[in-house]
Amino acid sequence: MSNSPITRALFDEVMVPSYAPAAIIPVRGEGSRLWDQDGREYIDFAGGIAVNVLGHAHPKLVAALTEQAHKLWHVSNMLANEPALDLARRLCELTFAQRVFFANSGAEANEAALKLARKFAFDHAGPEKREIISFTPSFHGRTLFTVSVGGHPKYTEGFGPLPPGITHVPFNDIAAFKHAISERTCAVILEPILGESGVISATPEFLREVREQCNQHQALLIFDEVQCGNGRTGHLYAYMGYGVTPDILTTAKGLGGGFPISAMLTTAAIAASLGAGSHGTTYGGNPLGCAVAGAALDLISDPELLAGVHHKHTVFMTGLRRINQQFGVFRELRGQGLLIGCELAEPWRERSRDFLKAALEEGLLVLVAGPDVIRLAPSLIIPDELIEQGLARLERAIAQTLSTAA
């Protein structure tokens, strides 16, 4: 067995090159800070891409995982387990849902939602009602079905033939959507806030019209809240802030606070179409994941924590506006709660990764949402003082990037 050191170079030797990670390797996290192999500290505004909603190594999540690890790690889905049933009950109590299906990732939750929608339509209207409407730009996962529904050409190139029966229309375009929906439509899927595609919020008018058209055409409305759910907007789920209730909701990322778990939520009547044996997953409802997610949900659903998200949004936006007054680098600042997009102005468009790299050099982790947007998705409980420290590092990173380009 090799005793050679673990370095970034090893990635290129042993890993499939589907990622291009940074040069650093984090080895420890606490709260909203990370430390790399050399002991250098970073402030985390990325949150594992909106996953670490309670920061790194939250003591209550560590305790839940440790306690469950001494009891039961895994049983097949031929048996129920207590953490899964308790988590499902809690999700039903806190949302519109009456039934829950657990999986391991957002893509799997969306796959389940899309399959359920087609099966429900097949059961109630026959095989011709199978069309799915999605919006561009959007992102719903990397399985062949979900990447086809997302509609990004760069994610589907070379993977054809793609699943048929999918129509794409522009996001927030009511007229285009009304033209596209028909009696053949079985489901409409959308992100209330586009995460990977620029942090763009749906307008309330758009969501209300989509809901009404789905009602008129007997189509199921699916909200993909993989990224914008779990307290990210200052509401437990984004649909609550909009006042528009879907038929199916998918959640992942922050649901486990860093532990891999996802869920599809729906009503009892719709769930009935996924009878025994019609769909499944080996690890869905794993006791370890459900125990951690249960502890995370208890914390995330606290009204005081959710109110804090709104407060921290204001702290971020105030600081970002101050930075922009100095440099004029942002065309628009947008988002809800602690999912924030900073769209770059000319001549900095197409340069988001340059700012990401500069921030890393300053000891700050940020994200991008396409070539033109810097994305922030930190812990929901990041202290205000760390926000200010991180913004100071971002300011230095922007200054360095602009001076280098001058």
**pLDDT in the model for residue 404:** 87
Q: What are the residue ranges spanned by the domains of the chain?
A: 8-58+303-405, 72-300
Considering 119, 129, 253, 312, which one is annotated as catalytic?
253
C-alpha span between 128 and 83 (Å, rounded): 40
Residue for token pair 């970034």 = 8
**pLDDT in the model for residue 76:** 93
**pLDDT in the model for residue 28:** 97
384 has catalytic annotation: no
CATH value of 8-58+303-405 in 2.30.30.100, 3.40.50.80, 3.90.1150.10, 2.60.120.10 = 3.90.1150.10
Question: Over the range 264-296, which residues count as b (16 or more CB within 10 Å of their CB) and which as e?
Answer: bbbeeebbebbeeeebebebbbbbbbbbbbbbb
224 has catalytic annotation: yes
**pLDDT in the model for residue 328:** 96
Domains 8-58+303-405 and 72-300 share a fold: no
C-alpha span between 234 and 303 (Å, rounded): 9
Considering 45, 101, 139, 223, which one is annotated as catalytic?
139
**How far does CA 132 lie from the centroid of its chain?**
21
**pLDDT in the model for residue 3:** 77
Considering 44, 224, 247, 372, which one is annotated as catalytic?
224
C-alpha span between 155 and 148 (Å, rounded): 8
pLDDT tens figures, 34-88: 999 999 999 999 999 999 999 999 999 999 999 999 999 999 999 999 999 999 9
C-alpha span between 157 and 73 (Å, rounded): 39
**pLDDT in the model for residue 1:** 53
354 has catalytic annotation: no
**pLDDT in the model for residue 406:** 64
pLDDT tens figures, 374-401: 999 999 999 999 999 999 999 999 999 9
Q: What is the pLDDT along the chain (406 residues), one digit of tens a residue?
A: 567 889 999 999 999 999 999 999 999 999 999 999 999 999 999 999 999 999 999 999 999 999 999 999 999 999 999 999 999 999 999 999 999 999 999 999 999 999 999 999 999 999 999 999 999 999 999 999 999 999 888 899 999 999 999 999 999 999 999 999 999 999 999 999 999 999 999 999 999 999 999 999 999 999 999 999 999 999 999 999 999 999 999 999 999 999 999 999 999 999 999 999 999 999 999 999 999 999 999 999 999 999 999 999 999 999 999 999 999 999 999 999 999 999 999 999 999 999 999 999 999 999 999 999 999 999 999 999 999 999 999 999 999 999 887 6
- The CATH number of the domain covering residues in 72-300: 3.40.640.10
